[in-house]
A and B are shown apart, each in its own frame.
Chain A
Amino acid sequence: MTQFLDISGLCARIDADGQEKEILRGVDLSIPPGEVHAIMGPNGCGKSTLSYVLAGREDYEVTAGSVTFHGKDLLEMEPEERAAAGLFLAFQAPIELPGVNNANFLRTAVNAVRRARGQEELDAVAFLKTAREAAKALSMAPDMLKRNVNVGFSGGEKKRNEVLQMTLLQPSFAILDETDSGLDVDALRIVAEGVNRMRSPQFSALVITHHKRLLDYLKPDRIHVMAKGRIIHSGGPELAEQIDTEGYTRFLAEAA
């Protein structure tokens, strides 16, 4: 128990075309404050489901287990309450919002969270200044604030927009779901630097990835291997190297 994020025996299923499918089968995972952990694992092992369940997506039914965040029952909270409490999910496939201006969206989100946290709301001028600086640090074109949320954005622009949201919402815990997928080398570095700027004793992250390269930048404290809905192995940063050369076969065999 870390008193920060503790996942214990978490089981969840989804109703897929009338068939109930177990996806998480007893996930145990604790992340202390100030640490970056990574989850790696074969496709379909439940990594994205874990991120959705933590963020509060309603399609998934939690059937057993518990999640506490800052000592509170996370699973009891609405998605917006989780965001206000400091949780952030960077989507693997960010959603397009036609007709919603990106700057307005960001300000609405930031002020909703600030309101919920008892902080003063930012006026339009103060917000735009902050947002422009944050966008610039991520090498985003200035017009991306004026466009509709993620509409017509390239894959890389969408991922940067996720990191921009994270920067502005100032979460204490971020889940990055394959934020590195579809990024070229330069974009990957920029995104990784954006995450590294967040690092502090009060910020933790759970990074879901298939690739060692992002982890080379982020230097995670722990790496977990997930398979068939459970964490089957945990280790230090050296695990990334091992998976990169050997794949998951050995861990899968050990767990079987």
Chain B
Amino acid sequence: MNAVTKDTKATLQPFQPRLDAVKGLERTAALGALHRVGLPDRRVEEWKYTGLRFLAETPFAGPVRAYDATWAQAELQRLGVTAGVGAALARLVFVNGYYAPDLSVLPEGVSVAFFSKTGSFGPLACPDREALTALNTALAEDGAQISVPAGVDGGHVLLVSLGQAQAGAPISFHPRHSVHVAEGGKLRLTCIQGGQGRYLHNPVLEVSVAARAELNHLTIQSESDEAASLATLYAQIDERGAYNSFVLGVGAALARHEVHARLSAAHAQVHVNGAQRLRAKQHGDISSVITHAAPDCISRQTVRNVLDGQSRGVFQGKVLVERIAQKTDGYQMNQALLLSEHAEIDAKPELEIYADDVKCSHGATVGALDDDQMFYLRSRGVPEAEARQILIHAFLEEALDLIADETAHALSAHIMATRYPLSGEEA
């Protein structure tokens, strides 16, 4: 036992000064869980393809509230938050994990509280099961607690995270957000993440969608190229509620977007879609567990990956259909386009079904750019590099088309165009 304790202490070493100061019931319990199991290594099945060793090797310090306002404003422009279609929307901006009122525009008709004031943890997250959630629970500084009243359309709200780390001084921040859409309510939420320097962004987001409520949620992960982004999302969807989520991953050196979605009452529906485009040595992991805990629910999952350079994409998708969940309708598809012989995709689809009257399908494809399509475009005069971009864009667009909201789609297109400008004409 002593050896284990030592070992977990070692992996948590960068966080130790902050962990030693932890107070309060939830935080202490989370810390206990964290010390019991430590941060997961690759022997843990859920973490087989994504290693966290760098966490123990990077001296992450706690975040400071002060930030460079000029830089933050420029970054918001670059991310399309204060320019283009984003400019008209309400926004809650967090810098290094702390709410930045000067950069924010509060939404109307939607109630917003802050974790730093309320200190209240939600009921959905599982710190004793997920170590990164435990780390978040122990260290959470701030976060938005968004609540849409019954029957209200809360419009479109941006939840923005900026990370700003100075060279040679890595920091970590652990925001604790929650969104609740009450019965019959509606909300469009777009989370946009950007930043500079080396930092760890370790957010937890709890989502609860009440009966007949609808939440359309887009996450655009465009973090600093040196950053680690380890996000865990818990969603619960009540009767006839709909949670339509999409994650677009283009940033960070290492990213994991982990979703736990629970369809808790009949006729609920969830979409856990996504796309990622990675290059160089980027590592992007999209993992999810979708639990059908009630009959007549629908889950949909389409994830597309474009991988260049020595990048690595991971898709782990588990669909768990409980015994009570008869007439479940589940669909899962993961597709990858490999642009380089050194790129890699690890796909692990899993179906675990205990009900006997269900319709569940899943599939995975891996391929390179199609020679026939390339030749067709080039034979029409389109130069090779442009033809490649057109086909890559088309492959991703078939996933991005699942973002139904036009404004959200435009926000994602803006980030894609910023990260991957097309040479010449846009197709």
Contacts and interface: CB of A to CB of B under 8 A. Distances in A.
Interface stretch (A75-83, A192-200, A206-214, A241-249): A75-83
Contacts of A41: none
B396 to A, nearest CB: 8
Instruction: Tell which of B371, B373, B379, B395 has the most Cβ of chain A within 10 Å.
Output: B379
Contact of A56 (B371, B379, B426): B379
Interface in B103-156: none
Contact of A78 (B384, B391, B398): B384
B381 A84 contact: yes
A112 B425 contact: yes
A101 B427 contact: yes
A113 interface: yes
B425 A111 contact: yes
A113 B424 CA distance: 12
Interface residues of B, number: 26
Query: DSSP class of B's interface residues: helix, strand, loop or mixed?
Result: helix
Given A98-B394, A99-B397, A105 B427 contact: yes
B395 A99 contact: yes
B381 A100 contact: no
A80 B382 contact: yes
Contacts of B371: 58-59
B384 A80 contact: yes
Interface in A96-114: 97-101, 104-105, 107-113
B47 interface: no
A91 interface: yes
B376 interface: yes
Interface residues of A, number: 35
A70 interface: no
A95 B427 contact: no
Contact of A169 (B377, B381, B393): B381
A99 B394 contact: yes
Interface string A114-156: 0110000100000000000000000000000000000000000
Contacts of B427: 100-101, 104-105, 108
B375 A100 contact: no
A58 B375 contact: yes
A89 interface: yes
Q: Indicate the member of B378, B390, B395, B397 with the most A CB atoms within 10 Å.
A: B378
B373 A95 contact: yes
Interface in B379-427: 379-384, 386-387, 390-391, 393-395, 397-398, 424-427
B381 A80 contact: yes
B341 interface: no
B372 interface: yes
Nearest to B378: A79
Interface of A: 55-59, 78-80, 82-84, 88-89, 91, 94-95, 97-101, 104-105, 107-113, 115-116, 121, 165, 169
Given A100-B394, A101-B427, A109-B382, 19 more contacts: A56-B375, A57-B375, A79-B375, A79-B379, A80-B379, A80-B387, A84-B381, A95-B372, A97-B373, A99-B393, A100-B391, A108-B386, A112-B382, A112-B383, A112-B386, A113-B380, A121-B425, A165-B380, A169-B380
**In the complex, the 10 A-B pairs of residues with the closest C-beta atoms, listed nearest first:** A99-B394, A83-B381, A113-B381, A109-B380, A79-B378, A95-B376, A112-B381, A100-B394, A99-B397, A99-B398
